[in-house]
Structure 1
Amino acid sequence: MPSIRTALGPARATAPASRTQTGRDLVVDLVRVGCMFAVVAVHLLMMGISIGEDGIGVVNPLTSLGWFAQGTWFGQVMPLFFVVGGFASLTSWRSLRRRGGDAGEYIRARVLRLVRPTVALYAFLAMALWLATAAGVPGDLLKVIAGGAGVQLWFLAAYLICQTMVPVMARLHEAAPLRTVAALVASAVVVDALRLGLERNPWGFDSNPIGLLNLVFVWGLLQQLGFFYAEGFFDRFARWKLVAGALACYLLMVPLTQGGLYPVDMLTNQNPPMVPLVLVGLAHVMLLKAAYPLLQRVVEREWIQRIMFLVGSRAMTIYLWHLPLIIAMFGLALALRVPFPDPASTAWWLSRPAFYVAAWALVLLVSTPLVRLELASTALAPGASRPAMWRISLATLLAIIPPFVVMRSALDTWNATWGLVLLVFAVGLVGGKRAERSQ
């Protein structure tokens, strides 16, 4: 089957200088870690604690910033995260195939890698919420705390769906890369058209469930862009063309958002995902390639690589735990009667760097023992047979359901509890004794 290189012409003859001898792209690692720093920063800034006569309140200070909605065109990093995830996925899938592996082996490994760290989080949240309920914490406050602690879980559902698609989408990419992208684009546009067309229906019909199809088409399309990145497609273009392409994406977003068709805020466009996120992701990856020589020099610094390894080696654990730990940090500060400036005030902004450093210190501390779940091998014991495909498929479905429900209805005590049961069952379906570290 022809690759993108044979379909679209030869790629640049020399590999990017930032690739190691093993083929690993350190710039991609830098981007992934940078996205993690950005996610933690945004979530921290979205939590403003106010203390008044009515008690403790939680507000989002970012919404008071007039430029915030437009700023998300640059600061919404999840599309880029799916792009670099696609790069890593295609690389891993092809490496597995060269070793004689198949789709079942790939999906099983992804389920274990993503779900085992999540089991620990669900166990903690279920226990904490039941204890808080027994201690008489007011229901309204507990609802806010639980909802905030589970905001990030949507990603697990979306990413698991995309990872399950990798073997099929990689084959489609090898056979017909442009037609595959065109089909995903068309599907995403159709889903958005149906969703937006039904939003103003006179029957009160909820169109959001239709938009959930774009978990496959929008996030899958961004993952597909990562396949192109992995094969050097964007290396074919001069820097000025990449910048011009990114600018064209942003210019196209102006009529899409200013005309009222889509929200200007790209965070609002996230769940369910909508087409403008594809333009954001495409613009980001082109700007990434335009800045590649600069980023290459950055990753050559030893201290940068140490940070990349520290954060990158436990990225999933950090992502899952950062919000509960930020909430716990604020709770401790309240218990210690630390002064809380009015959200969005000058004093509030000046205090954010200290909270950000404290949040990262707490996250790194807690993730140190927990990262073992993320790094644990997915290999079976010598002589053990791989679980049947039906077990792998069922485990994947069971793993998607709990974070999907949280994405749709927010975390609470009950779905943390039954979600934990499903996740444990999913791991049990595809688990086994680990004999060696997987690649």
Structure 2
Amino acid sequence: MSSALKPGLPCKAATVPASRDLVVDFIRVVCMFAVVAVHLLMMGISVDQSGIGVDNPLTSLSWFAQGTWFGQVMPLFFVVGGFASLTSWRSLRRKGGDAGDYLRNRVLRLVRPTVALYAFLTVALWSATAAGVPGALLSVIAAGAGVQLWFLAAYLICQAMVPTMAKLHEAAPYRTIAALAAGAVVVDVFRLGLEHNPWGFDSNPIGLLNMVFVWGLLQQLGFFYADGFFDRFAGWQLVLAAAGCYAALALLTHSGPYPVDMLTNQNPPMFPLILVGLAHVLLVKAFYPVLQRCVQLGWIQKVMFVVGSRAMTIYLWHLPLIIAMFGIALLLRLPFPEPAGVQWWLSRPVFYVAAWVLVLLVSLPLVRLELASTALAPGASRPAMWRIIVATVLAIIPPFVVMRTALDAANATWGLLLLVIAVVLVTGKVRERPQTPMPGRFAGVPAPTASGKGMLPWRRG
């Protein structure tokens, strides 16, 4: 799949195509390790006489908000996703494919693995409800298990834009990215300006427009990366530009209207995420020679292959499995140190390794959904464009709703139904094969029926 979670990194260095940018694959894998680490650290489980408590220990750390300027990797995900998307789109065009082919492939690649997750969540949540799990605790567990699904909605929106944005990039790259930046600023001005309005109007939904402008602009930066734009500059120039991005962030957050915490700026996305993504890609290109030497190491390529070949599966399943891991620890009555305390920090590496072992084990059967071919079956015709568009919309709705309202048993159930319909809509329809004439009959003569219709006149009766 050509996306930020693209699998298929060759296992041996000798098989790596010369045209492949292994640094991009390396970035994806590093981001995946970072995402799992952050989500693990955001779950602080405490057990006392009042029961089981769940909170986010990271928010109590004085340096956490500032640390998100470097640790918030989702903008970089969209940048490297843009690189892969443009590369894939151009390859498809050279082979005679069009926007319908591209979007159909993206829907299948992203939605098929998600169907398995929704099926699991539907069964698990309804079973927990039937077993009498307290509603408040189940709501917290369900919400935690669905936190990562926002990415699917945002990424599908951006993927649907690729054919159009690629054409705009080729025609007017700078005007296109300037228009996206202006759109992001305008949305934020309206959203922040109406935040404390006297009418009690919720301005957050206005910010949803930035799922197009902010994430779309970051994807567009990946187009510039693919075209070699950042290769024009010396390392010191790239570092200086990154420092400028962070200086602008300081002005917009400490002296401006935006939150310092980049996770707070994420849903709906806000303009500072663009600066974070740009700073990250500038630093990547500044230290590109060092990263190139790293990816030539055999053990690093093996890790890149294992994680990169099942990245979508890992991303979708890591949070439910982390929650399940903590549930098992509770059942085994393992000690739970005070969140954010010394003992808690010392125990996190053990839980981190255990989480990765569990995720990789579960990925063994599930990765087939991620790696399954999107090619049409022999004799099948590609679905009509309207079916592909409807399928894309249906695929976006379930994770979008989870992003806005949190996961529960009900929206897991109807979400599963919509996702299955989306996959069915983009599955090619096999043409009916023409009937082969029976031996001894003339080609094109209708076959006899029980009523005699279709028989030659002199054979009736």
TM over 0.5: yes
SS in 2 for 1:199: coil
**2:252 aligned with 1:256, yes or no?**
yes
**Structure 2 letter corresponding to 1:378:** T
Are 2:24 and 1:63 aligned? no
Q: How far apart in 2 are the matches of 1:23 and 1:148? A: 40
User: Of residues 355, 373, 385 in structure 2, which corresponds to 1:359?
Assistant: 355
Give the deviation of 1:52 after TM superposition.
1.2
**AA matched with 2:205:** P
Say whether residues 1:371 and 2:349 are aligned partners.
no
TM-score, with structure 2 as normaliser = 0.89
Q: Which residue of 1 aligns with 2:156?
A: 160
Aligned to 1:329: 325
1:96-151 deviation per Cα after TM superposition (whole angstroms, max 9, x unaligned): 00000000000000000000000000000000000000000000000000000000
Aligned position for 2:391 = 395
Query: Match of 1:380, as an amino acid?
Result: L
**Alignment partner of 1:31 is 2:27:** yes
Distance (Å, rounded) in 2 between the aligned partners of 1:352 and 1:44: 8
Q: 1:186 aligned to 2:156?
A: no
Say if 1:107 and 1:164, in contact at 8 Å, map to a contact too.
Answer: yes
The CA deviation at 1:351 is 0.2
Aligned-residue CA RMSD (Å): 1.3
Q: Distance in 2 between matches of 1:76 and 1:255?
A: 18
Amino acid at match of 2:89: W
Matches within 5 A, 1:18-417: 21-417=17-413
**Structure 2 Cα separation of the partners of residues 278 and 356 of structure 1:** 29
Question: C-alpha separation between the residues in 1 aligned to 2:315 and 2:301?
Answer: 20
Are the equivalent residues in 1 in contact too, given 2:44–2:54 (CA < 8 A)?
yes
Tell me the SS of whatever aligns to 2:403: helix
Matched to 1:422, the amino acid is L
Runs of 4+ in 1 over 2 A off after TM superposition: 19-22
* Alpha-carbon distance change, 20 to 234 in structure 1, aligned in 2, over 3 angstroms: farther
Cα distance in 2 for partners of 1:400, 1:218 equals 17
| TM-score normalised by length of structure 1 | 0.94
What is the aligned length? 417
Return the letter of the residue paired with 1:110: R
| CA displacement at 1:20 relative to structure 2 | 5.1
Preserved CA contact (<8 Å) 1:61 1:343: yes
TM-aligned CA deviation for residue 385 of structure 1: 1.1
Contact preservation (8 Å) 1:379, 1:433 = no
Unaligned runs of 5+ in 1: 1-18, 435-439
Shift of 1:382: 2.1
- 1:281-300 Cα deviation digits (max 9, x unpaired): 00000000011011000000
Unaligned runs of 5+ in 2: 1-14, 431-461
The CA deviation at 1:24 is 1.1
Instruction: Tell me how far apart the structure 1 counterparts of residues 230 and 378 of structure 2 sit (CA, whole Å).
Output: 42
Aligned-pair CA distance for 1:156: 0.2
Q: Measure the CA separation in 2 of the matches of 1:21 and 1:364.
A: 26
